[in-house]
A and B are shown apart, each in its own frame.
Chain A
Amino acid sequence: MTTTSDYAYNSKIEGEVIVSRSDAVINWIRRHSVWPMPMGLACCAIELMSSGGSRFDISRFGMEVMRFSPRQSDCMIVAGTVTYKMAQVVRRIYDQMAEPKWVVAMGACASSGGMYRSYATLQGVDRIVPVDIYISGCPPRPEALLDGMMRLQEKIKNESSTRDLFRNRPVRDLTFQKK
């Protein structure tokens, strides 16, 4: 016994085809499945974990899949103080991530060194990796992190992804780059 309904979507008429721009499709997929690489280095990581919990629920944005392997992640969230000893590890993990990849500097320390003006601390992770989004706070509340991630989604939405398939994806210059 078969029944057919002629209202709603009819695959015979529509032919299972949707017409759209490839940029729109690629960016729609990318921005709703940003898998973070949690680079938790200090107390910001606690707020990052909190964002993953049910109260703030980062999975509303498709970002709950924290990947501890750089090969499987799209966005490195640098959450905490980056010491010079750790900086090399951060850069190496960034290099190991597959394109396209984004970096979020979460909190004062990752953005600028924060209160650590000393011989041991990298004065902002943007000196060694290109940062897309900076989040203020010491540490930022989970809402601030979610706001930053939503801004990252907006940024991804406006990328020219189709063109980037045939060239190197443009990334922001490092801070204090020697020209």
Chain B
Amino acid sequence: MNTRTQTIEEAHPYITERESADWPAYNCPQENVVELLRYLKDEQDFDFLSDLTAIDHFDTRPRFEVVYHVYSTERHEYLRVVTPCSGEADPVCPSVVDLWATADWHEREAFDMFGIQFEGHPDLRRILMWDSYPYHPLRKEFPLAGKEVEFPDEDLVEATGKTVEPAPMMGGPFHASHTGSMVDREPRADDESWNEHNERRDTPGEEPGPPRELRGKH
């Protein structure tokens, strides 16, 4: 792999090495990324696009990056390429559907979750959320619980009068620590002060006391 990375780096001087715990990874400017990936596929036998996803850095610039994981089925080697997206609110990135047909659905997912516009994609529409959904849920500013929107199906709205509502978080989201004893690594709620008892006490008209089901029947 070492001689191979050397060859790749010499053939493409514009790429820079990126910190990686396992396989080699490179940062690549957006204008060269298709050229680089085509070279990796055609000349270096990275014939399989294992994954295509995006990162939202939120407060650093460039805010969005697209990550390509390519794999050689011949040599069983991975390589990672990361390219920044141009544009802030509407990030743009070239499509690689021409190189790997599998990029079609991967790019649709990245568009759905992060709102990245893939230029040259044959059919860029949402793949997980429904077509009329207004947000991109994996962006950092989007709350895990979600936001209230209308159901797209008119029959359902007519029959139930319901909307898509934010989920009750109950003190969550829950995070597990990587270090410490097994007890410390238990998932914990962000807001540990939350409990059902307090919430009931906060609701107007509800007198303080034990939860309703624990109160004695008189």
Contacts and interface: CB of A to CB of B under 8 A. Distances in A.
Interface in A116-151: 116-121, 123, 127-128
B153 A118 contact: no
Interface in A79-118: 84-85, 87-88, 91-92, 95, 113, 116-118
Contacts of B166: 119
Interface string B139-164: 00011111100011101100111101
B147 A119 contact: yes
B169 interface: yes
A88 B153 contact: yes
A174 interface: yes
Interface in B43-94: none
A178 interface: yes
A27 B148 CA distance: 42
A174 B160 contact: yes
Contacts of B155: 88, 91-92, 95
Contacts of B216: none
B161 to A, nearest CB: 6
Interface residues of B, number: 28
A116 B165 CA distance: 14
A95 B169 CA distance: 31
Interface size class of A (residues with CB under 8 A): 20 to 34
Contacts of A117: 144-145, 167-170, 172-173
B129 interface: yes
B159 A118 contact: no
Given A120-B129, A123-B168, A87 B156 contact: yes
Nearest to B131: A85
Contacts of A121: 167
Given A84-B151, A87-B151, A128-B162, A118 B167 contact: yes
Interface in A132-179: 174, 176-178
Interface of A: 84-85, 87-88, 91-92, 95, 113, 116-121, 123, 127-128, 174, 176-178
Given A87-B156, A119-B142, A120-B137, 4 more contacts: A119-B145, A119-B166, A120-B146, A128-B156
